[in-house]
Amino acid sequence: ETRLIYVESPSNPLLHCVDLAALVALGKRHGVLTVIDNTFATPINQNPISLGIDAVIHSATKYLNGHSDVNAGVVVASAEIVSRVTASAVSFGGMLDAHACSQLERGLKTLALRVQRHNENAGTLAHFLVAHPAVARVNYPGLPEHPDHAIAARQMRAFGGMLSFELHRPEQVDRLLSRLRLVMPALSLGGVESLICVPSRSSHRTMTPAERQRAGISDGLLRVSVGIEDADDLLADFAAALAMA
């Protein structure tokens, strides 16, 4: 009865990566469509269509726009699939206004430059956090110790601007958040500014503690959307906050 396989890669918030070549083979073998949410990766870092995925979606609110001031979404697929999506969008009223389109076009002009900086800053911050004694675990596909590093290295040009990390002492989460000065607590991602949130209180808050534990979402887990600020400023902000936590 399965008609479609839907994945997110890298995933939120643990940055797991799906082997897209294997997914495409599975879909073709069973005659089902394959769809990926490519928001975290961006088209700069990962091109699923070229790997055989049938449809790619993006929350254009995030990296494609890049300035946290547009609500939009994108579907990339064959003309046949897009025509079906368009028919539904017209019927249900999911249409962008002209101003939002203009802002999104503005963001796309700097996408490649911004993503390069996101990539660099996230890699720098990930290595800093790995070495910090207050941090128990860092989830970033660019780290060799990440369980999906080999998959990410095979299908991504770079590893993106998202990461998450877990504190040894979950009770220190609020203290850390209150001491950050440059990085802002917020639930969105993909903008020029660095944002941090607690998945157990946001994206996964409706799950029971047991369900979160099985999913690997601890109370000490924090997700960071790494912005394009000066890397030294970001490291200094986290160093000061972790020292006081």
Q: Is the pLDDT of residue 78 over 80?
A: yes
* Residue 186 DSSP symbol: -
3-state secondary structure of 241: helix
Confidence at residue 94, expressed as pLDDT on a 0 to 100 scale: 74
Mean pLDDT of the residues in the chain: 96
Whole-angstrom Cα distance, residue 117 to residue 122?
A: 8
Range with lowest mean pLDDT among 35-49, 101-115, 164-178, 203-217: 203-217
Q: Is the pLDDT of residue 245 over 80?
A: no
pLDDT tier, 205 (very low <50, low <70, confident <90, very high otherwise): confident
Q: Is the pLDDT of residue 90 over 90?
A: no
Q: Is the pLDDT of residue 87 over 90?
A: no
State pTM to two decimals.
Answer: 0.95
Whole-angstrom Cα distance, residue 3 to residue 34?
A: 9
CA 199 to chain CA centroid, Å, is 13
Q: 11-57, pLDDT tens digit by residue?
A: 999 999 999 999 999 999 999 999 999 999 999 999 999 999 999 99
Whole-angstrom Cα distance, residue 62 to residue 67?
A: 8
Q: 114-145, pLDDT tens digit by residue?
A: 999 999 999 999 999 999 999 999 999 999 99
> What proportion of the chain, given as a percentage, has pLDDT over 90?
91
pLDDT tier, 88 (very low <50, low <70, confident <90, very high otherwise): confident
- For the beta sheet containing 33-37, the strands, ordered from the edge strand earlier in sequence to the opposite edge, are 4-8, 33-37, 55-59, 73-77
Q: For residue 18, what are its two tokens? A: 């799906």
Confidence at residue 134, expressed as pLDDT on a 0 to 100 scale: 98
62, 191 contact by CB (below 8 A): yes
Q: Is the pLDDT of residue 93 over 80?
A: no
61, 225 contact by CB (below 8 A): no
Confidence at residue 95, expressed as pLDDT on a 0 to 100 scale: 82
Confidence at residue 244, expressed as pLDDT on a 0 to 100 scale: 79
Confidence at residue 123, expressed as pLDDT on a 0 to 100 scale: 99
Task: Give the residue with greater pLDDT, 207 vs 127.
Answer: 127
Domains of the chain: 4-109 (3.40.640.10), 111-244 (3.90.1150.10)
Residue 34's nearest CA partner among 12, 57, 4 is: 4
HEC string of 69-109? Answer: CCCCEEEEECHHHHHHHHHHHHHHCCCCCHHHHHHHHHHHH
Confidence at residue 182, expressed as pLDDT on a 0 to 100 scale: 98
Across the range 79-105, mean pLDDT stands at 90
Torsion-angle region of residue 111: left (phi > 0), alpha (psi -120 to 50) or beta? Answer: alpha
Confidence at residue 92, expressed as pLDDT on a 0 to 100 scale: 85
